[in-house]
Amino acid sequence: MLLGHDDKYVLDTGMQVTIAFNHFGQGLVQRMPRCRRGYIHVVNNDFTSWKMYAIGGSGNPTINSQGNRYSAPSDPSAKEVTKRVDSLDDGEWANWNWRTEGDLMENGAFFVASGEGMSTMYSKASSVEPKAAALVDQLTRNAGVFGGPRDDEGQSGDSYSGYGGGTSAIGGTSRGSSNSDGNNFFGMIFGNNAPPRPRLTLLLFSLLMICVLSTSTLLLL
């Protein structure tokens, strides 16, 4: 997932992107996303597999990671969630605004934060209100191939104390879809502003009206 095509393309400085409610799993290596410039909000996603890194960037992007679950691979050299791409030393990226807030770190995962931790610095990298990372299973239960449930086979991880603002897993987390709050999925995401579910009778009436109007139009022709 590439956001921005060139570090030197200054117009991407104003780019704003939200990455939410995704499941990044088996077979993925890196770039979830890979950012160049801009303001990126990574919120309420489930990262259960990567080989190199999960979130990478160059060109001083602002990255706001909130309410995600990061489960590191077994490879001890690939536990870091983040990567400053093409950066030679800390001095080059020390002022880039990358933060973790309310994230859940598992199996030794850690997020290297930098820059300012003040919320005002991330106003352009904030879109939806983050939910607790403990709700990630429910928030991402429909992620993946259309028409099929999430594939959680073989996914597991040990809880680990977060780094640079990440929170710890307490009491373990369960994998797989959950039926709790199943009838309030949109309410969970949008809060009190959730759109009401359309009633079946209203849908049937709408279809009937469309058929009547279509028939009338054909008769007039």
31 annotated active-site:
yes
Sequence-distant (6+) residues with CB within 8 A of 197 are 186
Catalytic residue among 31, 37, 84, 99: 31
Which of 71, 74, 217 is closest to 140 using CA atoms? 71
Contacts of 213 (CB under 8 A, 6+ apart): none
Which tokens go with 54?
């999960």
Q: Which residues contact 26 (CB under 8 A, 6 or more apart)?
A: 48, 49, 151, 154
Nearest to 73 by CA among 126, 137, 24, 9: 24
Nearest to 157 by CA among 139, 130, 175: 175
Q: What's the gap between Cα 140 and its chain centre?
A: 9
Please list the active-site residues.
Answer: 31
